Amino acid sequence: METIVKINILNLKEEIKAMAEKQKFYKNQRKTVKLVGERKMSASDATYEHQRNGEKLRVMYAVYGLLRGKKFSEIENHYPEENHPLNKLQYRIDTLLSKYQLQEVKVE
């Protein structure tokens, strides 16, 4: 008997889209008032949130790539597989993978 792990990719894709929209907002909030219009948060807060959100997005993109059967060097192809920077984020990647795991199905 074999078990198959089902992953909810649609929720992951929706969260990636939402976070990408937040990135655009944070990027605009870092600019001067003349370019942005009315500021909703300070430039320093926007810079911090932009960096934090970018790190989360990087992990989410890595998870999405792994779910599609790609290696780290194929996800971010300007690094070799042996000492890829995503290896340092493996714990966060595994945690996110377990978050989107729906169920384990037994197949006979």
In this predicted structure, what is the pLDDT of residue 107?
64
Per-residue pLDDT band for 18 (boundaries 50, 70, 90) equals: very high
Q: Which of 105, 72, 101, 108 is nearest to 88 (CA)?
A: 72
For residue 58, give its domain range. 2-107
Given a cut of 90, whether residue 81 has pLDDT beyond it is no
Q: How many CB atoms lie within 10 A of CB 66?
A: 19
Q: How do residues 23-80 score in pLDDT, each as one tens digit?
A: 998 988 887 766 667 778 888 898 999 999 999 999 999 999 988 888 888 888 888 8
101 and 6 in contact (C-beta within 8 Å)?
yes
In this predicted structure, what is the pLDDT of residue 19?
94
Given a cut of 90, whether residue 4 has pLDDT beyond it is no
One-character DSSP codes across 31-53: S-HHHHSS-SS-HHHHHHHHHHH
What's the chain's Rg over C-alpha atoms? 18
For the chain, what is the domain count?
1
Cross-strand pairs, 17: none
